[in-house]
């Protein structure tokens, strides 16, 4: 390990000095205000469109849930189970594996090796397409799987029907996640925002028409969701293929099938890191499904997780900003700018989290009526409001630190942290408090908060103690290792 690190640093010393390094001395004399202003602009170029895009994309699922919730409580509970258990599982795999592109594209773009971004995008499509096909049986056999897990028969049967509608939606995710990462790394994600806003508006209209006006029920809501998820994909393909990214997209190439192992390895590390986090909430919902009055408990918890999810979209936007800014600066050779970017993103996200923490404590359970007409469910949501507010506060910090890890390429390390904090601490504590101590849903959620809190503390310590000059050396050595077999094809790939 030490020899490998010394080799990477030796390789960096042989590289020509980057523009960022040449400007380093001049940057020291900049005032703090100018640095904050300059970095804020770079941060919001990524974070702003990313937040709005994620709001719109998440809004599609929330609108679907709201319309299904007004169809009936069983349908709402079934959708909540499928989305929270099955779709989160699939999202964890695909989103995690797609986040490997944040490291690959971000550092390559920072090192001005623009031609590699299109190749990495195509390689990621190959890997994620195979994984998506492997997950199809989970959607086909949802009902028997939920029965084995002890879920209510009526809910499990309806969940099996809803799961089939999610198969084409799941295939849309593999393109959506990779396009977002590819475009974010070069700060060209505004087109995704426009397309996401369009699909959200169309989904709201189509859902109202199909569910309310034509009484198509679950089929109407899910059919509208499929259209809403695929419309942006076609738009993104058009943008990229028609010249929107001339520096980074050189056309389809046979190079995409070469050196796939690097993408596979980093994709699985990234997938493992994100999956451990997303599946954490999934397991908590499954535990809730085995409680007395499971329908109310699942509905209440899923509504709280959806409200938390809305806030999480803001934090995930800052996660994207942290990942892109750290990757770009490490690729460009500036440890100083990378550290400054981390501080600014973390402080900005935390400030927004504090404001939302206060607001959700004040509004309590009134937001539940957006998702349900049941007074029992609304009262259960109100009872969980304090825990919801604390979750929102933690969510304003933890995703930023995960973004730093992705930008620096620490996915494997963070995966171990997630495994220990969530599965060795959070879930056992939740089981003890929820079942043994009799706190029911509250106990399970306290366990979730406890695990997330410890994880956040550990990530703060890791980030604080990191030698960022060494991270620059490793990043630039890594970029050159990736590019070594590609040098000859820089100005012209062997196109398909």
CA distance 314 to 296: 28
Residue 485 is classified by DSSP as G
- The pLDDT of residue 4 is 45
Q: Which residue has the tokens 């505004």?
A: 190
Its pTM stands at 0.74
H helix intervals, 290-384: 294-332, 335-363, 375-383
- Here the contacts of 232-238 (C-beta below 8 Å, separation 24 or greater) are 232/176, 232/192, 232/195, 232/196, 232/198, 232/199, 233/172, 233/175, 233/176, 233/179, 235/191, 235/195, 235/198, 236/175, 236/176, 236/179, 236/183, 236/191, 236/192, 236/195, 237/175
How far, in Å, CA of 120 to CA of 111, rounded? 15
- What is the per-residue pLDDT across 289-308, written as a single tens digit (0 to 9) for each? 555 555 666 677 777 777 77
Residues of the chain with pLDDT under 50: 1-29, 485, 487-494
- pLDDT value at position 203? 93
Specify which residues 495 forms β-bridges with.
Answer: 253
pLDDT score recorded for residue 490: 46
């Amino acid at each position: 390990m030490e020899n490998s690190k010394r080799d990477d640093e030796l390789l960096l010393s042989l590289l020509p000095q980057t523009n960022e390094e040449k400007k380093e001395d001049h940057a020291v004399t900049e005032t703090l205000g100018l640095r904050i202003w300059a970095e804020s602009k770079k941060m919001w170029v990524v974070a702003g469109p990313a937040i709005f895009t994620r709001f719109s994309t998440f809004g599609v699922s929330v609108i679907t849930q709201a319309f299904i919730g007004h169809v009936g409580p069983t349908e709402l509970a079934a959708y909540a189970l499928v989305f929270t258990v099955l779709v989160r599982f699939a999202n964890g795999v695909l989103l995690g594996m797609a986040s490997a592109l944040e490291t690959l594209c971000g550092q390559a773009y920072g090192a001005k090796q623009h031609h590699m971004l299109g190749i990495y995008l195509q390689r990621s499509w190959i890997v994620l397409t195979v994984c998506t096909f492997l997950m199809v049986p989970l959607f086909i056999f949802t009902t028997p799987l939920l029965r084995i897990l002890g879920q209510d028969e009526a809910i499990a049967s309806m969940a099996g029907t809803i799961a089939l509608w999610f198969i084409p939606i799941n295939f849309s995710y593999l393109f959506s996640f990779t396009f977002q990462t590819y475009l974010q790394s070069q700060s060209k994600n505004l087109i995704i925002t426009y397309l996401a806003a369009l699909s959200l508006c169309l989904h709201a209209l189509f859902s109202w028409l199909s569910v309310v006006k034509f009484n198509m029920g679950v089929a109407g809501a899910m059919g509208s969701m499929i259209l809403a998820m695929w419309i942006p994909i076609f738009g993104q393909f058009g943008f990229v293929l028609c010249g929107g990214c001339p520096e980074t997209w050189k056309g389809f190439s046979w190079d995409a099938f070469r050196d796939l192992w690097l993408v596979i390895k980093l994709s699985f590390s990234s997938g493992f890191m994100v999956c451990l986090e997303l599946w954490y909430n999934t397991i908590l919902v499954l535990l809730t499904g085995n409680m007395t009055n499971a329908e109310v408990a699942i509905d209440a918890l899923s509504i709280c997780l959806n409200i938390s999810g809305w806030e999480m979209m803001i934090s995930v936007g800052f996660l994207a900003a942290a990942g892109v800014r750290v990757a770009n600066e490490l690729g460009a050779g500036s440890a100083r700018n990378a550290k400054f970017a981390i501080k600014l993103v973390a402080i900005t996200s935390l400030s927004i989290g504090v404001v939302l923490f206060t607001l959700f404590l004040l509004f309590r359970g009134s937001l539940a009526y957006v998702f349900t007409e049941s007074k029992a469910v609304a009262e259960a949501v109100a009872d969980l409001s304090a825990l919801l507010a604390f979750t929102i506060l933690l969510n304003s910090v933890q995703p930023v630190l995960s973004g730093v890890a992705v930008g620096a390429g620490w996915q494997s390390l963070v995966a171990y942290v997630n495994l220990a904090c969530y599965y060795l601490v959070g879930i056992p504590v939740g089981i003890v408090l929820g079942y043994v101590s009799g706190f029911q849903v509250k106990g399970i959620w306290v366990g979730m908060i406890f695990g997330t809190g410890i994880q956040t503390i550990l990530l703060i310590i890791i980030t604080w103690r990191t030698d960022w000059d060494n991270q620059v050396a490793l990043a630039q050595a890594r970029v050159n290792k990736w590019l070594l077999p590609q040098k000859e094809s820089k100005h012209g790939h062997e196109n398909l």
